[in-house]
């Protein structure tokens, strides 16, 4: 009887953990040094990834209380099976109240969605800037930076050469790519999603499985220093796919702050 009670308690605690990790929203903070910035210069980016049409009603205060310099949406706002854009509209309604520029690159679910054109129209209505396979130079806190984007790589839509054509790499260069990529060039920072952090993670092991990488993926969540000198940051995102659960892997958005190496 005692063993049964212990097992039951453990089982209930695991259920509570799954519910919390799947439904709550964590704000993850990341700091990336960059030698192209001088002392006291910094750039703060709110990264939102892999929403998968999740209804975030009740969680908007968690987002709108943040104070980034810009907002980036790194793909899979919707699910490939999404039939209407109600939840996306509610999210955009809240994001525009932050009065910050918003940028978007597509994920595999957008590329495979029959309503992708409708989503593009909605994003345009809210003045969200699409960066699929293109770039722009913007100024943030007096710092000129290149903000580039590629359409989803895992479905074969990424055109990195087009995205970086004419880029002045003496400026800090940030690439938005839904699927994690490891390009051999002088990009400073790549912001990605797609993996959901493995969605289910095991203590001391990491992500169990990720799209395109299979079991125990090499690139699942967090910061990676690439051979090219670039930093890859993978956000585990807000939503789920296949199984509607997260475990040891809270749903999250990220505040990525680029600072001077000094």
pLDDT (0 to 100) of residue 196: 95
Contact between residue 196 and residue 237 where contact means Cβ atoms under 8 Å apart: yes
Q: In angstroms, rounded to a whole number, what is the distance separating the alpha carbons of residues 92 and 242?
A: 25
For residues 148-155, give the mean pLDDT.
95
Residues contacting residue 183 through CB under 8 Å, at least 6 positions apart: 160, 175, 190, 228, 230
pLDDT digits (tens, 9 = 90+) for 88-137: 999 999 999 999 999 999 999 999 999 999 999 999 999 999 999 999 99
**Helices and strands (DSSP H and E) totals, the chain:** 6, 16
pLDDT (0 to 100) of residue 1: 73
Terminal CA-CA length for the chain: 61
Annotated domain spans of the chain: 2-260
**Choices 3.60.21.10, 1.10.1270.20, 1.20.120.80, 1.10.1060.10: CATH for 2-260:** 3.60.21.10
Number of C-alpha atoms within 13 angstroms, CB side, residue 101? Answer: 13
The tokens describing 64, both together, are 């709108």
pLDDT (0 to 100) of residue 115: 97
Q: Is 74 exposed, middle or buried (0-12, 13-18, 19+ CB in 10 A)?
A: buried
């Amino acid at each position: 009887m005692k063993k049964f009670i212990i097992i039951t308690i453990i089982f209930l605690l695991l259920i509570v953990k799954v519910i919390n990790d799947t439904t709550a929203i964590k704000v993850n903070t990341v700091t990336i040094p960059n030698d192209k910035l001088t002392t006291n210069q910094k750039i703060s980016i709110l990264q939102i990834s892999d929403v998968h049409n999740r209804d975030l009603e009740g969680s908007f205060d968690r987002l709108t209380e943040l104070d980034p310099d810009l907002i980036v949406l790194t793909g899979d706002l919707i699910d490939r099976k999404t039939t209407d854009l109600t939840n996306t509209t509610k999210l955009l309604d809240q994001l525009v109240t932050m009065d910050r520029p918003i940028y978007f690159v597509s994920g595999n679910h957008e590329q495979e969605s029959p309503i992708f054109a409708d989503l593009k129209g909605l994003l345009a209505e809210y003045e969200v800037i699409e960066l699929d396979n293109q770039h722009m130079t913007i100024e943030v806190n007096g710092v000129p930076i290149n903000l580039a984007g590629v359409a989803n790589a895992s479905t074969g839509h990424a055109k990195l050469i087009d995205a970086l054509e004419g880029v002045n790499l003496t400026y800090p260069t940030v690439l938005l790519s839904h699927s994690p990529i490891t390009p051999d060039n002088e990009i400073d920072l790549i912001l990605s999603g797609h993996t959901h952090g493995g969605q289910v993670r095991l203590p001391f092991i990491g992500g169990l499985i990720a799209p395109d990488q299979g079991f125990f993926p090499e690139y699942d969540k967090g910061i990676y220093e690439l051979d090219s000198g670039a930093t890859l940051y993978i956000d585990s995102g807000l939503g789920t796919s296949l199984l509607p659960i997260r475990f040891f892997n809270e749903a999250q958005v990220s505040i990525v702050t680029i600072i001077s190496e000094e």
